[in-house]
Structure 1
Amino acid sequence: MSSRLPSSPRTRRTAAALTVAGLAAGLAVAAPATTAATAAAPPAEDLASRFTLAVLPDTQFYSRYSADQFLPRYGTDPFATQTQWLTAHADDLRIPFTLHLGDIVDRAGVEAEWRAADNAMRTLDEAAAPYSILPGNHDVLNSGVRDDQLDVANEPFNRWFGATRAAKQSTYGGSDPLGLSQFHIFEAEGQRFMSLAVAWNASDATLAWAQSVLDAHPDVPVILTSHALINVAADQTSPIETGDSQRMWDRLIRGNDQIFLTFNGHFHGATRQVKQNDFGHDVHQVLMDYQMAYEGGNGYLGLVEFDLTNGSLSLETGSPWVVQKPQDTLTSYDQPLLDGEHQRFSIPIDFRERFAGFAPGFTAGSADEPKLTDAARAILLDGFEGPDPISTEAPGNELDFVEAEGTLAHWRFNGQDGVVGADTVIEDIAGDNDLTRPDPADTNAVGTLWEDVTVQSTDVHGYSSDAAAVCFDDSSGSRFSYLTTGPDAPINEADLSQGYTIETFVKMDADWNASANGWSKALTRTGNRSQIGVPETRWDWTASPTALGISNLREFQYTSLDADASLGDRVNWSGEIMVDQWQHVAIVNDPESRTTTMYVDGAPVLRNATNVGGMAWHEGHSWILGADWTDDAARNGWHGCIGETRIIDRPTTPDEWLTQRADLTGFEVREAPSGELAADVSSVRFAGVGFPGAEVRLAPAAEGMAARADLSGAVTAVAADGTWEIVVTSGLTAGEHAVELSQALGARSIAPQRVAFAIAAAAPAPAPAPTTPAPAVPGGTQPGATVPTGAPAADVDGSLAATGGDSGSMMPLAVAASALTVLGGVLLALRRRRIARG
């Protein structure tokens, strides 16, 4: 067994529940879990023979941005944090071995990146924690050739991580003649396993070497690692075979029953598949690569539990980097655990049966380990408080956004459904910078139709209150359309030297592809760099001064000039962006810090621009949506949709962005009836202040006194000056009234304010003086007398109406008194007749 390292002390705090808005690159969100501080000891029946295999996917961006991004911000980088955490918890998780999947660095020829990687991996060396490592395509000087065509003597991988360094590990078995591939045999739970690490673009000679290793160790189960095997589809779920995976399968995997598990990186995302080898046995293949996610992968690594007693293999994906970040730096992307379909799973493997054909003596070790995946989750959640809650919610209607001071232009598409024709005007709601569409015949576009550009309202970003977008169909390098500001639009000459914020919502079509749509632009400040003082460069010297678009690797690229054009451009890059998914992009330039920061759905990207303040521009040139501008002409049309877009003349913070909701808390009821009002009141008035354009709604109180039906349902709009009033003239009946007034923007409203008052009852009419009825005529009715018959009062004299109150059918008091008088006379006449008859 490998030596076990003591775990470091940990501060024990309660982990808070996680609140998230959304995640990048298809990452799933971890469900709340029990913390290590509160986890109970496992029952005896849960103990088994278990160990954990650690997996480090592509670390290239950690190495590349260690010195200029991570260290200045955090004092360390994710790569170094990963290896420190693995050594600290090797005993807790029973980690005998670690696999690195390649792309150790991003640029093989940059010494600083290798130093950062060396610093991280040296932690494992010094802790005697063995590992295998292999070069990926970014780790070799020419990734386009087979490994046997490289000048291996000059390859940086061999200098930093070749056979000489590998040989110092207790598990090392040997390297291929090139020094780029290696194998190790490690022990876990009393059994031996092999890690066979095969270099990028392995030649036939390298595969022959790998076969010789297997032949020399025919009774050892093998875990194969190579940088590129299976790929993942655009749905970020389905596995895809590649040329590498099929070649390796046919040449090495299928014919060697020892290989039961493979890992690879390279392709952005996570997926897995199971294939049957020539012996009819399962081979499990796993892809794991997070380099294009937030912060270059955000420190996610794989922890694979082997349960030899119960026959299962379980994966957890977690980030030691996330849990050590300062609380005030956390975003909704900072989750310690990922629980997606291919990020957390368990599969049954009867190891003894699976290995019986080549290792009949394979057996489980002592059943004395708890469930290690649970332990890993508990360790990662121990003390993690989670990011601050996200307050963003869906908009109630088209007015539900924050108006930002300094807005120069704000283009919205609501109400423009259909083809964008020659007469269509996209209004700038903040100024005089309306957009129109040039006639395709007047551009150098090829094959463009008017029908290529439409406004639709069926599919928009969930946090855009505009509820509409303009979509560009069939776009490519030569077929394009665009919307443009007019020649005299004020925004054309906007001086943004004091900083700026550009916001937009964008989506690539589902059929986007790199060859036709790579390097297209969504938003461009047109002009020609070569004419405004930019030094001549190899690339883009005649491009526009500023543009936001997408690269051929589906990365957002924002390129812009400093206010001093002679300094050249500065570029921001996002991670990989998925097709057919809306993204909110905010570009914030702050001259004080001389930074331009790109935010994608609220999270800052890793590769941001520095030493830049403001924006240079080419006088007399417009802004356009939907295309690039190079060599004084449009090209490279945006294949997808663009939502509302806004330009502000200062740097802003997220609370001012279009993803935030309007502030409805300023609603006040300043005038309202109160106390008891006179019985003859003919109207009541409610008035106050609120959000301009919002609805003020009057409704019965939710509880307590019931409002009269006629005193509810009134609605008014808050005026442009922020005032509102509701005057009620009906339903003002005697009794108590309780109503609630609330302010709303469509479906979103704030808590109502309650108003209670009463209306006095009317004084009763005086009763008429009693009269003595004339004697009744025997056997008949007194002439002129009114006899009650049980009919309503209105039926008695044809004119009396029912009173208000709770019984609308009661007779007026005067009518009732008269009826009693008549009844008394009838009873008196009957009594006299009985007396007369003795």
Structure 2
Amino acid sequence: MCKSDDRPSHESAGQSRRGFLRNAALAGAGTAAVGVGGAALAATPASAADAAAGGRTGESRKPGVWTPDTTALQFTLAVMPDTQFLYWGSQDSVNRAPQEESFRYIIENSGTPGNNIVFMAHLGDLTEDADPSSFQEVDKAFALLDSRGAAYSVLAGNHDVTGDDSRGDTPYLRTMGPQRFQRSKTFAGSDPTGYNTAHVFQAAGRSWLLLALDWRTTDQGYAWANEVIKAHPRMPVILTSHDIVASPYDDNVFPYESGDPENNAVLSGNGQTAWDRLIDGNDQIFLTLNGHYWPPGRTTRKNAAGNDVHLHITNYQNRYFGGGGMIRLYHFDLVRNTIDVETINPWILAQDPESRSELAAEHARISGPVDDFSVPIDFEQRFSGFVPIPVRPARPAAKELVKGTLAYWRFDGQGAAGTPLAAGQTIRDLSGRGNDLTVVTVPGTAADALTWSDDHHPDQPGHASLKFTGGRNPVHGSYLATGAKAPLNTETFRTGYTIETFVSMPLDWDAGNNGWAALLSRRGSAGTAGKHGRNTDPGEPVVQLAISNNGREPQFNHYPLNTTYPTTNWGHGLVEVKWWHLAVVNDGRLTKLYVEGAPVVDNPNRVSVGLTSLGLPWLVGGHEYAGAVDIVFHGSIGDIRVVNRPLSTKEFLTAK
């Protein structure tokens, strides 16, 4: 290891020390290529996930067998940095046990929920002295991975080799060169020197490319790496090398005392070369990993495309027992759009806790801010430059008129985005049942309080919405209402119903001014309808699908025909500037609220038959209290459909 000025802290043989799914299938597509004079390279399509990396698709796994789940949207990349102090053969100092225990952990945790390790990347400096005897021992340790068919990569560090990747034959190359990976299902090829290799592994239903570059890569090596990326144009790329970013703070200063723990690494001289010749111009590279320097650290830089590249150092050779084969686990979660990172020592964890020394106990898990952290990444958006996010086309209204549709309102093709709707303007009911909507404007409201918009939920049939700018204190805005004689006004839905809509709230949504505004409500107060008893508010409408003032939670509050008091379904908080699909389904007995096709936790197990009606109009974006409109919605509302029977989630407007 050397600090950023590359001064040797230890000399040996003249050497110095030291970042859906919907488009997953597309992501696996790639073109076969031959790397500049090197071994043939071919992308493994995601449809071949079972074959690649010995993948599995859900069957139970056998202990001690490499069986990663290649379809799960949560997976782990294991990273092992500088293990050099375990292999100093020329000094008769070799101890394979820590590394082999880590290898056993990696194998045992391939495919297990919570870990699902799919690949292991070693970051170089496998040995201290590059001696053939050291590599003989390294060979024995890695044979454990080979015997189980584990997927992994290695690269040469400055303690394994001298010079750059044009150096020719070495004990490293004879032991860990391309010939070692000929039977590996993830090996995609090497450059002519054999010191730079490419690996394609399967995870989350797509293909991922990992490049393992020599500690000193020449122009031909970078040319080869660029060609490999070009040959796999839809794959996210993880770049590993021994020396990319360095630590600007000293060993005896805790990272949280040295400034921002999320930005405490800088490009080294070699890292700047890698950035200029490879990383900056290849948007597919979203994460780089290196060892060599310590303490650990990380930083984020914008590439030429304006996207984040996460650059991390992980190295524990200066810790107890030379790191003891410690591993960094990168837990990718494509559901939560996060990489959770933790650092553990399987060798110590395998020991009886009562027998561990104080130092060992301290190093079983490393939990500092540079060792245990999370990296938020919107994977779909980050990869959209090379795997475009597919846009679901609009669907004709006729295809959404399922049996029992009583009303279907949508807002496409009726006005240019940003232009206002005037009072009295009509929006037709596309069901043909005559439940047309008319714009109603609260006196004193601005002319642009209700406008057409082309914003919409990605799975919404109509690619448009209405943007409401309403509120209370004082009441202002425009809303819509069915006509006085609309058939929907008297419908009581005794045998069940489904109500669906799409909603998005802006960042300026305010609980005091906008809370309890309704997306859809039915005029007529509970008191006038003769309702009374527990939880009854005599002034509230008999039916309302609203957004509460407490964390923007959707609420369906309704007075059934069979009770004098309401049934209320509550959803979880909805974040702003995101489209949400809401559905209320009643099967003639029970009512359930769904958010994005998932039932909410607070769906009462209470018999609720039908919906009370006073024969009055329905309101879209309006809410009345004690017979008068008291608030108008603030946000956007998309397609609305009302059906006189319960629909399954497969029949929702969002169904594929």
| TM-score of the aligned structures, taking structure 1 as reference length | 0.36
Higher relative contact order (CA 8 A, sep 6+): 2
| TM-score of the aligned structures, taking structure 2 as reference length | 0.46
Structure with max Cα Rg: 1
